[in-house]
């Protein structure tokens, strides 16, 4: 993290807030992390989830907001509550190991929350990686997994480098197709460094579908690189998605290839639901499971090399990238995840600056769960 950059960010935010106040536009207050976590936990527990499972899911959602990834944080809470209340996601689900070997395992998520099944998968993978040096663990028949990067970070806390993949109902076109072929299958990795991990968390689509919905809710135009229309060509009409348009693959054939890799790793190998067999956790009836899948590939750094030497070498790599001459107007070259950790430091000190569309979804969650939101939500 670079304090000068964070100070610039805070200064810019203050100037924007002051400008809004001068224009008579109210500036929403930042929400303390503890308030958001307590509210999310309380909502989830009303569905019959155990305290431990609700805490796992709440931490994953809130931690994603803390990093500023608002499409995959507590904005998802209302949808998850509907699934839990309707039975599509089982509040009493108990994920279990279906098959395993010394360095691998296949877990059935028992149609529970994806955060619960994936958290168990990471723990199993860590244990196996600490024994064998590497581990590959899959979880099938689970709910929507949220931000894949959260599970990579979970593994990095134990000193493991991790790559996470997932699959979803098709929403992404292949190069040359006129309809969706694959999901916006996520790929994430985290590398421990001795300080903040290097963190990448991407959809293999040009953009996550949630960003299209968010742009529509905010009344914003979408760029021509996001969607493929029913004629197989780019469109800027976000209202066509997902019924008549598909997301464009990230970087054309390259993103398509990575999306296929995610499908194979997370669903094909463990025998989970693939492509159109996966349900829509948003549009299907609340009583229907969504049959999502994920995979966790971990490397225990201590087993592969000396930790102190590894930390020195990765710091040398980080320094080399930071020292690359920046373009005009750019403070410095950043590593994947650095901007998110800067946002997290700001959130820890000043609270989370939740966008309006997230606040709307949180009010919906409060109504669904009949849980009063804290005063900080509306201040």
- CA torsion angle for 285, 359, 12, 223 (degrees, to 10)? 30
* 15 compared with 88, residue with greater pLDDT: 88
* Strand intervals (E) in the chain: 96-101, 104-108, 134-142, 160-166, 172-173, 180-182, 186-191, 198-203, 227-228, 234-235, 246-247, 292-300
pLDDT at position 3, please?
A: 35
- Between CA 227 and CA 305 the distance in angstroms is 44
How much is the pLDDT for 17? 53
DSSP state of 205: B
Instruction: Kindly report the average pLDDT of the chain as a whole number.
Output: 92
Report whether 117 contacts 139 (CB < 8 A).
yes
Q: What are the structure tokens assigned to 55, written together? A: 């805490």
Distance of CA 365 to the CA centre of its chain: 19
Model confidence over 124-149: pLDDT tens digits?
999 999 999 999 999 999 999 999 99
pTM of the model: 0.90
Q: What is the 3-state secondary structure (H, E, C) of 284-317?
A: CCCCCCCCEEEEEEEEEHHHHCCHHHHHHHHHHH
| Residue of higher predicted confidence among 358 and 17 | 358
Per the rule left: phi > 0, alpha: psi between -120 and 50, beta: everything else, 297 is beta
Q: How many Å from the N-terminal Cα to the C-terminal Cα in the chain?
A: 30
Check if the beta carbon of residue 294 is closer than 8 Å to that of residue 139.
yes
301/306 Cα distance (integer angstroms):
8
Q: Which pLDDT belongs to residue 208?
A: 77
Between CA 139 and CA 143, with CA 142 as vertex, the angle to 5 degrees is 135
pLDDT at 329: 94
For residue 169, what pLDDT is reported? 96
Instruction: Name beta bridge partners: 188.
Output: 164, 201
CB 279 within 8 A of CB 149: no
Does residue 378 sit in helix, strand or coil?
Answer: coil
> Can you list the domains of the chain with their CATH numbers?
25-85+351-377 (1.10.1530.10)
Q: 3-state SS of the chain: helix, strand, coil percent to 5? A: 45, 15, 40
Work out the percent of the chain whose per-residue pLDDT is above 90. Answer: 85
What is the per-residue pLDDT for 22? 55
Mean pLDDT throughout 190-200?
96
Q: Per residue in 50-80, pLDDT tens?
A: 999 999 999 999 999 999 999 999 999 999 9
Kindly indicate the confidence band of residue 15, based on its pLDDT and cuts at 50, 70 and 90: low
């Amino acid at each position: 993290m670079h304090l000068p950059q964070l100070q610039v960010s805070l200064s810019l935010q203050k100037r924007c807030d002051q400008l809004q106040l001068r224009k008579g536009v109210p500036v929403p207050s930042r929400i303390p992390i503890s308030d958001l976590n307590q509210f999310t936990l309380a909502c989830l527990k009303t569905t019959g989830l155990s305290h431990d499972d609700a805490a796992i899911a709440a931490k994953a959602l809130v931690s994603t907001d803390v990093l500023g990834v608002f499409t995959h944080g507590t904005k998802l809470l209302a949808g998850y509550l509907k699934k839990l209340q309707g039975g599509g996601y089982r509040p009493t689900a108990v994920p279990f190991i279906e098959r395993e070997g010394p360095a691998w395992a296949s877990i059935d998520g028992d149609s529970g929350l994806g955060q619960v099944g994936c958290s168990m998968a990471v723990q199993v993978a860590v244990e196996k990686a600490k024994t064998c040096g590497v581990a590959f663990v899959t979880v099938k028949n689970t709910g929507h997994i949220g931000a894949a990067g959260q599970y990579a970070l979970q593994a990095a806390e134990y000193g493991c480098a991790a790559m996470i993949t997932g699959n979803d109902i098709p929403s992404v076109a292949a190069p040359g197709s006129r309809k969706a072929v694959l999901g916006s299958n996520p790929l994430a990795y985290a590398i421990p460094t001795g300080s903040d991990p290097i963190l990448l968390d991407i959809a293999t689509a040009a953009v996550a579908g949630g960003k299209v919905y968010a742009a529509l809710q905010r009344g914003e135009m979408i760029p021509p690189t996001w969607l493929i229309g029913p004629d197989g060509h780019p469109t800027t009409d976000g209202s066509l998605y997902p019924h008549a348009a598909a997301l464009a693959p990230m970087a054309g054939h390259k993103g398509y290839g990575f999306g296929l890799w995610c499908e194979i790793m997370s669903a094909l190998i463990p025998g989970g639901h693939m492509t159109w067999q996966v349900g829509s956790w948003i549009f299907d009836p609340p009583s229907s499971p969504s049959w999502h899948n994920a995979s966790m590939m971990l490397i225990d750094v201590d087993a592969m090399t000396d930790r102190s030497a590894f930390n020195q070498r990765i710091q040398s790599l980080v320094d080399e990238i930071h020292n690359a001459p920046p373009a005009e107007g750019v403070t410095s070259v950043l590593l994947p995840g650095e901007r998110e950790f800067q946002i997290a430091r700001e959130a820890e000190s000043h609270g989370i600056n939740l966008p309006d569309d997230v606040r709307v979804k949180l009010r919906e969650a409060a109504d669904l769960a009949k849980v009063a939101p804290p005063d900080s939500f509306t201040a």
